[in-house]
């Protein structure tokens, strides 16, 4: 394995906002293109399918327009598994490539909640797993529910172990440590790519996404595919176009030392870089944060992997005998 080289791809492209079907079709075309370029794994940006909820940052907008946008957004959420993921799986299989794609996932029970989900698909055409964003950021909480740790895992592939997180999960530290403890080799850092309408700050948002992604690469001794989202307000359908700001992408590929080896990507493009397991192992031999460079006698992390269960049904058979007798 140490001699194995692999190709990494960051797919920087604009989805068809508020259009689940058209976005899925475009994703399949991009997967085919990345496969033709020889990539072993390709990453998409945060909630690429069918788009990041840019409208939540329109604080001065008409509230009725924000509610309308939220309803349209939920109506275009994706079921996992479902028709759209079936198409993505078929595209990955035909292209012979692994895919990590940000998806607006519909809650399978209530059908009234969406999650910021990173979906992993293998080149065999099967879903490898999914990870729901643990804590949506600021106004994202108006459109996304909270995830759990059931999908906070690496996936073993022929060329190495892959993992992924969404946006500011890289700022939370602990989710990343869980993945590092599982020995990730290649990590997808999915970002919205936004400069947004936040208050003035020392540096724009895209610089922060690069800073956190480079830090993750160095700490994990793994390659990071940083994928930023694109948004051109001219391509947003009315009446939601008045809520849109430009998201410029700025995708990068980063090596296990935290050094940039490709990027920044500009416009719609597929960024490609070659990696090697030798580089990963060399970096980990110097720094394995959850292995030889850890102090488990001083620090330990506890992870609750139980899925959320808001309703639990019981029957008479589930009750202790003493309770059944007291009720009779």
| Residues in CB range of 179: below 8 A, 6 or more apart | 152, 153, 154, 163, 165, 187, 220
Residue of 1, 39, 72 whose CA lies nearest to 240: 72
CB distance 44 to 228 below 8 Å = no
Catalytic residues: 46, 133, 167
Q: Which residues pair with 226 in a beta bridge?
A: 189, 252
CB distance 29 to 46 below 8 Å = no
Residue of 189, 196, 99 whose CA lies nearest to 140: 196
CB distance 99 to 64 below 8 Å = no
Buried b (16+ CB within 10 A) or exposed e, 196-209: beeeeeeeebbebb
């Amino acid at each position: 394995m140490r001699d194995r080289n692999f190709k990494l791809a960051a797919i920087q492209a604009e989805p068809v906002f508020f259009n689940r079907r058209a976005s899925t079709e475009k994703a399949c075309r991009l997967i085919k293109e990345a496969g033709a370029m020889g990539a072993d794994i390709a990453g998409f940006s945060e909630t690429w399918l069918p788009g990041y909820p840019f409208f939540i940052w329109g604080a001065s907008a008409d509230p009725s327009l924000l509610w309308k946008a939220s309803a349209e957004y939920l109506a275009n959420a994706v079921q996992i598994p479902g028709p759209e993921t079936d198409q993505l799986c078929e595209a990955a299989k035909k292209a012979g490539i692994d895919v990590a794609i940000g998806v607006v996932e519909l809650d399978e029970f209530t059908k009234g909640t969406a999650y910021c989900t990173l979906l992993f698909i293998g080149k065999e055409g099967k879903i490898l797993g999914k990870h729901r964003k643990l804590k949506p950021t600021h106004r994202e909480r108006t459109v996304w529910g909270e995830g759990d740790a059931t999908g906070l895992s690496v996936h073993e592939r022929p060329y190495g172990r892959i993992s992924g997180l969404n946006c500011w999960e890289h700022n939370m530290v602990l989710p990343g440590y869980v993945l590092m403890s599982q020995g990730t080799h290649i990590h997808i850092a999915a970002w919205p790519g936004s400069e947004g309408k936040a208050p003035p700050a020392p540096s724009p948002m895209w610089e922060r996404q690069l800073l956190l992604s480079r830090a993750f690469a160095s700490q994990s001794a793994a390659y990071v595919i940083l994928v930023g989202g694109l948004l051109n307000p001219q391509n947003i359908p009315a009446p939601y176009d008045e809520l849109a700001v430009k998201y410029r992408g700025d995708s990068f590929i980063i090596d296990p030392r935290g050094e940039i080896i490709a990027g920044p990507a500009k416009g719609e493009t597929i960024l490609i870089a070659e990696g090697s397991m030798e580089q990963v192992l060399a970096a980990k031999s110097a720094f394995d944060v959850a292995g030889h460079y850890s102090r488990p006698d001083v620090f330990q992390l506890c992870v609750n992997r139980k899925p959320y269960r808001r309703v639990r049904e019981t029957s008479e058979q589930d009750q202790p005998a003493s309770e059944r007798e007291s009720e009779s």
